[in-house]
């Protein structure tokens, strides 16, 4: 089997982090976003993963060339000269994907427990041309709702309903049979709006409910909430990957070479990346420290993301959704609330929310 991951786009929703790295390579729970998906695909026997790319392809290729040998899976890129939507990339990559077998399609922003083997079994059982994962949401009015029967056959798509019709939405993960290539033209195309509705009318499109958590981590607030969900899932499936003992509170992931000082309180829902240094008396909660960042003694970081090699001074305070780009310096005793700081900047005065530091 093969798989296609849609990684095109500039990652504007996740700036300022994507000023330094393409979005698929930004670390989520101490691993590049796209690696979570590739590892899960390799685990069910996918032999080749194709990345549909139209932004910084060479950086992505260089990174994944090293990972390909480790995972024992072929990783290739399919370059788009222009953004091709969510269906066009399938047609562009057809020469890589079409070996007569069903293939996976994933949006690179999505994270979950990736029930790929269950999808394969369901797809075979139903004889579907396409199988979609669906997930339950609390506010379906923000999404396109999928209506389906007890057997999983999709009957209708309802875009952003103003009245309740259902609460299951497209989770952005598909298993498609090769016949779908005949439905797609070589142009910018939406698979959700131009392909799937026709398949549903022809009764060839089915869906499977996603067990466990689901998150789209393509913007900072969702990145943080997705981190909490992923850590909670790891608590059940792989507790050894999480930190324990003093000064850990709740679900926390700490890189092996990170250093945490005395008298700290770390957690819940915190990720400390490789090479990070956390000073004495620091409080971290619901935040991610990306590789090489440093937090000065007695500082407080909550609901924030600290970029690579950034430095937060002593007695500083970051809260309410702060996002620091790469190599940002926050001076001692600065209070930042809801601030976004672009890479390679220094801040020495209080920041009021919201503000983008240029």
Q: DSSP readout, 42-58?
A: HHTT--EEEEEE-SSHH
Same domain, 246 and 163: no
Q: Is the pLDDT of residue 355 over 70?
A: no
- Alpha-carbon distance 69 to 122, whole Å? 30
What is the domain-level CATH number for residue 278?
A: 2.160.10.10
Same domain, 262 and 186: no
Closest to 216 in 3D by CA, of 227, 207, 205, 206: 227
Same domain, 268 and 174: no
Angle at 290 between CA 289 and CA 293, to 5 degrees: 75
CB within 8 Å of 22: residues ≥ 6 apart: 7, 11, 55, 56, 59, 60
Final residue of a domain: which of 163, 189, 216?
216
Say if 321 falls within a structural domain: yes
Domain that holds residue 334: 228-356
Provide mean pLDDT across the span 335-350.
85
Domain count, the chain: 2
Say if 342 falls within a structural domain: yes
Within 10 angstroms of residue 109's Cβ, the number of other Cβ atoms is 24
What is the domain-level CATH number for residue 97?
A: 3.90.550.10
Same domain, 177 and 289: no
DSSP reduced 3-state for 221: helix
Say if 221 falls within a structural domain: no
Closest to 305 in 3D by CA, of 226, 223, 245: 223
Asked if residues 249 and 239 have their Cβ atoms less than 8 Å apart, the reply is: no
Closest to 110 in 3D by CA, of 17, 12, 230, 206: 230
Most confident of 38-47, 105-114, 217-226, 295-304: 295-304
Task: Read off the DSSP letter of residue 357.
Answer: E
Q: What are residue 209's DSSP bridge partners? A: 134
Same domain, 137 and 259: no
pLDDT given at position 141: 76
Same domain, 306 and 258: yes
Name the token pair of 1.
């089997």
Q: Is the pLDDT of residue 358 over 60?
A: no
- More confident site: 106 or 165: 106
Q: What DSSP line would sit under 138-196, residue for residue?
A: S-GGGSEEEEE-TT-BEEEEEES-SS-S--EEEEEEEEE-GGGGGG--SSSB-IIIIIH
Same domain, 270 and 204: no
pLDDT given at position 223: 93
Same domain, 67 and 208: yes
- Alpha-carbon distance 125 to 169, whole Å? 22
Asked if residues 55 and 64 have their Cβ atoms less than 8 Å apart, the reply is: no
Whether 262 sits among the annotated catalytic residues: the reply is no
Q: Is the pLDDT of residue 138 over 70?
A: yes
Pick from 56-70, 234-248, 258-272: least confident? 56-70
- Alpha-carbon distance 187 to 189, whole Å? 6
DSSP reduced 3-state for 59: helix
- Would you place residue 354 in the very low, low, confident or very high pLDDT band (cuts 50, 70, 90)? low
Same domain, 96 and 46: yes
Point out the catalytic residue in the list 160, 193, 201, 311. Answer: 160
Q: Is the pLDDT of residue 248 over 60?
A: yes
Same domain, 144 and 290: no
Q: What is the pLDDT of residues 18-70, one digit of tens each?
A: 888 888 889 999 999 888 999 999 999 898 898 887 766 777 777 877 777 77
- Which residue is associated with the tokens 């991610």? 288
Write the burial class of residue 58 (CB in 10 Å: 0-12 exposed, 13-18 middle, 19+ buried).
Answer: exposed
Closest to 158 in 3D by CA, of 189, 132, 130, 196: 196
- Which residue is associated with the tokens 């222009």? 82
pTM exceeding the 0.85 threshold for the entire prediction:
yes
- Alpha-carbon distance 326 to 16, whole Å? 8
Say if 223 falls within a structural domain: no
Q: Is the pLDDT of residue 137 over 60?
A: yes
Task: Read off the DSSP letter of residue 72.
Answer: T
DSSP reduced 3-state for 67: helix
Say if 222 falls within a structural domain: no
The overall average pLDDT reported for the chain is: 88
Provide mean pLDDT across the span 261-282.
96
Q: What percent of the chain has pLDDT over 90?
A: 50
Same domain, 176 and 50: yes
Write the burial class of residue 139 (CB in 10 Å: 0-12 exposed, 13-18 middle, 19+ buried).
Answer: exposed
Same domain, 53 and 142: yes
């Amino acid at each position: 089997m093969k798989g296609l991951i849609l990684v095109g786009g500039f990652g504007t929703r996740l700036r300022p982090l994507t000023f330094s790295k393409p979005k698929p390579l930004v670390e989520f729970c101490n691993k590049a976003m796209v690696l979570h998906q590739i590892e899960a695909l390799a685990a069910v026997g996918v032999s080749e993963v194709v990345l549909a790319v139209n932004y910084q392809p060479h950086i992505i290729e260089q990174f994944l060339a090293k990972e390909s040998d480790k995972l024992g899976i072929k990783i290739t890129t399919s370059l788009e000269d222009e953004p091709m939507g969510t269906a066009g990339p399938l047609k562009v990559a057809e020469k890589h994907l079409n070996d007569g077998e069903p293939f996976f399609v994933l949006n690179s922003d999505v994270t979950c427990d990736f029930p790929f083997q269950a999808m394969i079994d369901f797809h075979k059982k139903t004889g579907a041309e396409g199988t979609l994962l669906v997930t339950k949401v609390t506010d379906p009015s923000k999404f396109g709702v999928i209506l389906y029967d007890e057997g999983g056959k999709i009957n209708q798509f309802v875009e952003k309903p103003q009245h309740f019709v259902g609460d299951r939405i497209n989770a952005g993960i598909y298993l498609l049979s090769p016949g779908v290539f005949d439905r797609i033209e070589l142009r910018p195309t939406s698979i959700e709006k131009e392909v799937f509705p026709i398949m549903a009318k022809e009764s060839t499109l089915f869906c499977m409910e996603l067990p466990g958590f689901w998150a789209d981590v393509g913007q900072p607030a969702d990145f943080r909430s997705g981190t909490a969900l992923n850590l909670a899932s790891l608590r059940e499936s792989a507790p050894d990957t999480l930190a324990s003992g003093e000064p850990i509170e709740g679900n926390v992931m700490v890189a092996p070479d990170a250093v945490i000082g005395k008298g700290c309180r770390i957690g819940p829902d915190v990720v400390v990346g490789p090479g990070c240094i956390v000073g004495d008396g620091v409080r971290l909660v619901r935040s991610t420290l990306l590789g090489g960042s440093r937090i000065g003694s007695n500082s407080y970081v909550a609901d924030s993301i600290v970029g690579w090699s950034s430095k937060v001074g002593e007695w500083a305070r970051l809260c309410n959704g702060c996002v620091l780009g790469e190599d940002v310096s926050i001076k001692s005793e600065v209070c930042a609330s809801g601030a976004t700081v672009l890479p390679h900047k220094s801040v020495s005065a209080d920041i009021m929310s919201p503000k983008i530091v240029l």
